[in-house]
Amino acid sequence: MARVSLILLRSPRTAWPAHRVEAYQAGLISLGFSVETLIVTDPSAGPSLQADEPSIRSVVAWAPGLAESAVTGLRAASGEFLVVLDLAMAYQPEDVAAVARELQSGEAELVIASRTRRWMGSIASRWLGTTDPTSGLLGVTRAAAVEADDSLAPVGSRFGLELLARVAGRRVDVPVGPVRASWRLSTPFGDLRQLKRLADDRFGNVSRLLQFCFVGASGMVVDLSLYAGFKALFARLDLFQGMTTPVVGGSMALAVAAVSSISIALIWNFTINRRLTFNDARNGSIVRQFVRYAMGNMLGIGLNLTLRLLLPSSIGFFSRHHHTAAVVGIVAATGINFSMARWFAFGPKPTASTGDRPARIARRRIAGFQSVPTQIKPRPSTRPMEG
């Protein structure tokens, strides 16, 4: 007799649907399954959210969010087939039975209860292998879940997206009817973190470079705004009049204004990049990282500053448009700054196994994005389950 682990995800303030859960269990038993039922609760929920049925095992997730709850349930379950269901979404017992039946058929490692296809369904199917990436009911074989375990990085409320991205193998959509969803705790920042993490893991340095450029664009606004302010301030106070910078020449007032604005923009970019672009390195020493970041950016800063001062002193157009010369310097230094930040400031870090030698940071696997085209099964019967 095959064993199914029914993993029920319960958010804070979600009512316990006792009759619906009993129907889920009865429907699976009627198909000949041995059923293990687990309820996984959010750690922010109080003890009142625990199910009082003795046949249901309660587990508390390690962190808030349905994605964390789903992974906690998968790791705690013992069944051959694992069915994960969001209790805030009123799926029918026959929907749950259809997912378990499809897993038992051996035709897929991941089964998704797909609601009525929307216009985005075909696009989602091409990239994620399902027409409903936000489904609240999915099934996965134990072998596939174990194989994907070391790549799971749950965060946010879109647990289906996490499994679709991390679990490799064949997948099947089982169409279901419209599903009513009750109130559920939203984690918008967690969902954004999940999308950022999946983009990093799938596209690697391309994703990080785009984020780095976004941060750099905000830093450019800071830099150029302060540059204009410092220039106006020095001109008003008659500071550095008649003084020229050594080696490259040009106005000393421009040089001091440029150094001041670049330094503040450097701190700005470091802070945002540490929290966004390279947020997986935030556990490291902020002082050490900033020193490495500043040292790594010295070449880029030197190129930026040289172009910012040399172009106005040698080309008439730039002598009339100082900010344009500054933009040229910023763009020219971007590639150098990204490379040094990625591999010098935030990339390599010591580990216990390698001592002081930097360890290579491996990317997580996104095997699910390389899945075969979606198979869509006929919609299951709406006849109520017996038993």
Which tens digits make up the pLDDT trace of 361-384?
344 567 666 545 556 665 554 444
pLDDT at 387: 37
d(CA 358, CA 350): 5
End-to-end CA distance of the chain: 18
CA distances from 183 to 59, 87, 179, 180 (A): 21, 10, 13, 10
CATH 3.90.550.10 in the chain: give the residue spans: 3-203+369-376
pLDDT at 375: 65
Determine the 3-state secondary structure of 350 from DSSP: strand
Question: For residue 350, which amino acid is it?
Answer: P
Per DSSP (E only), the strands in the chain are: 3-10, 34-41, 56-60, 81-86, 110-114, 137-141, 171-175, 349-351, 355-359, 375-376
Question: For residue 354, which amino acid is it?
Answer: T
Determine the 3-state secondary structure of 365 from DSSP: coil
CB 52 within 8 A of CB 145: no
pLDDT at 353: 41
Tell me: the pLDDT tens digits for 333-364?
888 888 888 888 887 554 444 344 333 334 45
Of the CATH numbers 3.90.550.10, 3.90.1640.30, 2.30.40.10, 3.40.50.9100, which one belongs to the domain with range 3-203+369-376?
3.90.550.10
- Ranges of residues in the chain with a pLDDT under 70 are 45-54, 116-128, 182-188, 239-240, 242, 245-250, 348-365, 367-387
Instruction: Flag whether the pTM goes above 0.75.
Output: no
CA torsion 10-385-26-101 (nearest 10°) is -80
Tell me: the pLDDT tens digits for 77-136?
999 999 999 999 999 999 999 999 999 999 999 999 998 666 565 666 666 678 888 899
pLDDT at 360: 38
pLDDT at 354: 39
pLDDT at 36: 95
pLDDT at 303: 83
pLDDT at 248: 55
pLDDT at 124: 63
